[in-house]
Amino acid sequence: MPPNRRIDPTERAHLRDAAGYSPPIHRFAPTPEVADLVRRYWMPVWALPEGTRSVQRVLQYPVCLIVVSHEYALLVGPSSGLSTQELAGEGWALGTMLQPAAGSLVWGDSVDTLTDRAVPLTDARGLDGAALIDAIRDAVGADPLAPDGQQRAVTAVEAALSLLLPVDEEGLLVNAVVEHVEGDSGVQRVGQVCEKFAIGERTLQRMTQRRIGLSPKWLIQRRRLHEAAERLAGEERPDLARVAADLGYADQAHFGRDFRTVTGLTPGSTPPSRAPADSRASRALLRPHTSAATTVAYTRSAYTACSSVIRSAASCSTRSTSSGSTQPSGGSGTIPARTAARKRM
């Protein structure tokens, strides 16, 4: 089997932390054989200066995640709000972003029983969680930066998920529905989705509840917020009234309320995504053959540079948290453990 292709997609779901920092992330596309079950894989490897914590924030996609690290192994349900998680120290995790169809197959039940929850991977009834955890940890070993180990870990996930093939017709339909809503900004009403797929609104609602644990209306709102986050990530602020109009909101106030309700931030206060001041350090983080010790040093350098840029601009403040977790956040590229409004696990 050919190796999984490395990818580096633009990730509009990831809001980053108040310093504009994100850990280096190694991303992989699924092989064609499991493309109906998997969107992509990602593996953050992080090392923060002693005493430093970074709160990562993600507007998660309408999917479940499989997350395995050296410390924990979870099946993460879809998050209806903003997912946040605190990073500290050093660590790694391999995340698998499932397709909408795959959540119920892996979980073994309707996904609405998993919304805004994370459970031990061993609780999933659709695969052998314990065997998969062992296979991933054995593959990664002591060096999470080794390309061969990363590939073996991804291959282990694909082998476990391939037992769920072929995907059922309803699963293929929900994949197509979500792809359509996410990819077409002209979709502003649930009725448009029903017309596209010749399906009744109640049937659509029942299907999305079972397969993704969320409503069709939520899908449209989340796509709007993803588009907004992408526009707000630039260093130059866009005209918020224009953004609201482009996204189909009646006015800027309505857009601002939606954005604040989900993220806890106003559109005007969202931290921009900033490249580290030391661009050489940033590039070195992604070199596949960089040693673990070198990556730790570069990661700390990049984080310090990022923080320095933000402090000098005095443009945003760091939100504190009492959690001591070292799990990275983000379905997008880092790993969300919980929704902001709920107690962290």
Q: pLDDT tens digits, residue range 131-180? A: 999 999 999 999 999 999 999 999 999 999 999 999 999 999 999 999 99
Yes or no: say if 95 and 41 are a contact pair by the CB < 8 Å rule. Answer: yes
Q: Which of 77, 162, 145, 167 is nearest to 116 (CA)?
A: 77
Q: Report, as an integer, the average pLDDT of 90-114.
A: 97
Distance in angstroms (rounded) separating the CA atoms of residues 57 and 265? 11
- Residue 215 CB contacts under 8 Å (≥ 6 apart), including other chains: 205, 208, 209
**Does the predicted TM-score (pTM) go above 0.85?**
no
Higher per-residue pLDDT: 229 or 272: 229
* Count of beta carbons in the 10 Å neighbourhood of residue 9: 12
Distance in angstroms (rounded) separating the CA atoms of residues 191 and 27? 35
119: exposed, middle or buried (Cβ count in 10 Å: 0-12, 13-18, 19+): middle
pLDDT digits (tens, 9 = 90+) for 313-330: 333 333 333 333 444 444
pLDDT over 90 at 59, yes or no:
no
Rg (CA), the chain: 20
pLDDT more than 70, % of the chain? 71
What is the rounded average pLDDT for all residues in the chain?
78
Distance in angstroms (rounded) separating the CA atoms of residues 45 and 145? 8
CA 305 to chain centre: 24
Instruction: Give residue 307's identity as a one-letter amino acid code.
Output: S
